[in-house]
Amino acid sequence: MLVHTVTFRQARQFVPAVIPIVAATGLGGGAWTVAALVVGVTLLSLGTAALGWWRFRYADGPASVVVTRGLLSRSVRTVPNDRIRGVEVETPLLHRLLGLVRVRIDAAAGAVNGKDEELVIDGVPRAEGDRLRAAVLTHRSGPVAEEGAEPAAEEEFARFDNRWLFYAPLVGSYLAVPLAGVGALFRLAQELPARFQPDIDGVQISGVGALLAVLAVALVLLVAGSVIGAAVVNWGFRLTRRGGSLVAARGLVTRRHTELEIDRIRGWTLSEGLGMRWVRAARAGALVTGLGDAARRGQLLPLGPREEARALGIRLVPEPGPLRPHPPAARRRRIVRAVTAGLLVTAAGAVTTPLLGWWWVLVAGLVLLVLGVPLGLGRYAALGHASGEGSFSVRSGWLVREQAVLQDRAVVGWQVRQSPFQRRAGLATVVACVGAGSGGYAAVDMAADEVGAFTAAASDQWARTFSARAE
């Protein structure tokens, strides 16, 4: 069954037309040149879009999805259904106006160089998108019991409370949104012809009051920008269970539905940034085997109260119990590492102050030295590990504190590392290698004599190889 895709890429291709306008005005060409360029570029992009649309075919069969495309060099991609790890249905604003969706099929089958891991079927009608998603997911191997039965019951796991948007100013990634906006504005201002540029140089800030006012306005803009940014991405976030999968829907302008298979979930992470810890906020993400772009797609709760995020994770994989702190030697090690930079700068300062009179190097070194102590203590406070019934957990990090909770069966290997310093302090770092998330989760500076017990408790019996000889 070959289906023509409806596309409207033409509309988007108008955007490049803006570039020649800028270029031509910059070069000082007349209005006619500009108009000709705009028309030419538009026609060209319309033409390529139409050709691309005309040459694009997709078909979903009982065993695989086939996508054929390309104008001169044809490419045919076949993805077997049981290699499909997830389907994402996206509706950007323009798609929504025209009643279309974009379907992304995450195929973890041999990606050639890691970047082309997904099939994108752009611009199909909404009903066709839903049909495609359902068809691709139900055709997969496994019991297809509910063929023809009523759709599986939906159960709501989480719903975004708009009050949580006020956490956004404390989250680094959302704060970056308004900053990026300001950067883009400046770049645009530089590209504009000189006569349109606002006369910034003429503005003089005089007096402390004016400076404070400017700072206050900037702060308000930053806060507002981050809240708006968070709202655009997370508006109406809803996580529901539909049969054997979790469906996350979110977005104000671009609406996005992501589907995760519960069977493939091996654990979850709870991350709390420095600012988020102040207000007990956190984000939760699922660790799913073979999921491309896991950081974005695996999100269980993008932003919310810590307890809410944690409860959500526990519904998927239970927590192994309270984390055990690491031995005092680990605290010493964290502090030593945190003050090393300060010590080096102080030593340099001790040399340069009498020789060159650079006393500020000494001051900077001492400040770094003093700041290093709370940093080390904070980093130590984050460390912890626990193992329990069927799952285990490790936590580390200071700028972003991340706790990972994983099922025992997720572990595909253990790595134990010990540097000479750790050896003297009786510590070791244990990394659980998992085929999900970042690939490895570390318990940093664990007591060396606990390693055997922890690895044995946190995975199957093969981990006893660490302590028992095979004979």
Partner 1 sequence: MTTTTTTTPSPVREPAWPLSRSAIGLWVTESVISSVFLGMGLAAFLIFVPAEPGTPLPVLRWVVPVLYAVYVVLAVGVRPWVRFRVHRWEITDEAVYTLTGWLTRTWTLVPISRIQTVDVTRGVLQQMFGLSTVAVMTASSQGTVQVWHLEADVAQQVADDLAHRAEQVRDQAT
Binding site for partner 1 (CB under 8 A): 289-290, 409-410, 412-420, 423-424, 426, 428, 431, 433-436, 439-440, 448-449, 451-452, 455, 460-463, 465-470
CB of 263 to partner 1, least distance (A): 10
Check residue 48 and report its DSSP letter.
H
Q: Quick one: three-class SS letters along 185-224?
A: HHHHHHHCCHHHCCCCCCCCCCCHHHHHHHHHHHHHHHHH
φ, ψ (nearest 5 deg) of residue 245: -135, 160
- Taking the complex as a whole, the smallest distance from the CB of residue 355 to partner 1 amounts, in Å, to 13
Give the residue with the Cβ less far from partner 1, 37 or 336. Answer: 336
Q: Which is nearer to partner 1, 308 or 450 (CB)?
A: 450
Question: Beta strand pairing status for 255-261 and 384-387?
Answer: unpaired
The DSSP code for 443 is: E
Residue 102 and residue 133 in contact, taking contact as beta carbons nearer than 8 Å: no
Output 280 or 423, the one with its CB closest to partner 1. 423
The CB-of-176 to partner 1 minimum distance in angstroms stands at 27
Nearest distance from C-beta of residue 457 to partner 1, angstroms: 14
Q: How far is the CB of 313 from partner 1 (least distance, A)?
A: 20
Provide, rounded to whole angstroms, the least separation between the CB of residue 384 and partner 1: 18
- Which residue, 183 or 413, is less far from partner 1 as judged by CB? 413
Token pair belonging to 251: 């977005």
Compute the least distance from the CB of residue 314 to partner 1, in Å. Answer: 21
**Closer residue to partner 1 (CB): 8 or 466:** 466
Would you state the torsion angle of the CA atoms of residues 327, 332, 338, 343, taken in this order, to the nearest 10 degrees? -170
Could you tell me how many residues make up the chain?
471
Kindly state the tokens that stand for 143: 């019991």
Between CA 105 and CA 80 the distance in angstroms is 11
Q: Which is nearer to partner 1, 316 or 434 (CB)?
A: 434
Nearer CB in complex with partner 1: 4/423:
423
Choice between 52 and 452, CB closer to partner 1: 452
Q: How far is the CB of 334 from partner 1 (least distance, A)?
A: 18
User: What six digits make up the tokens of 227?
Assistant: 């809240």
* Secondary structure element (H or E) that encloses residue 387, with its range: strand 384-387
Strand partners of residue 261: 245
Q: Which is nearer to partner 1, 52 or 435 (CB)?
A: 435
At residue 362, the 3 state secondary structure works out as helix
Query: Coil, helix or strand for 442?
Result: strand
| Distance between start and end Cα atoms, the chain | 60
The distance of closest approach from Cβ of residue 444 to partner 1 in the complex, given in angstroms and rounded to an integer, is 13
Do 331 and 317 touch, CB atoms closer than 8 A? no
Specify the pairing of strand 384-387 against strand 265-273: unpaired
CB-side exposure of 90: number of CA atoms within 13 Å?
A: 15
Q: How far apart are alpha carbons 466 and 277 in whole angstroms? A: 37
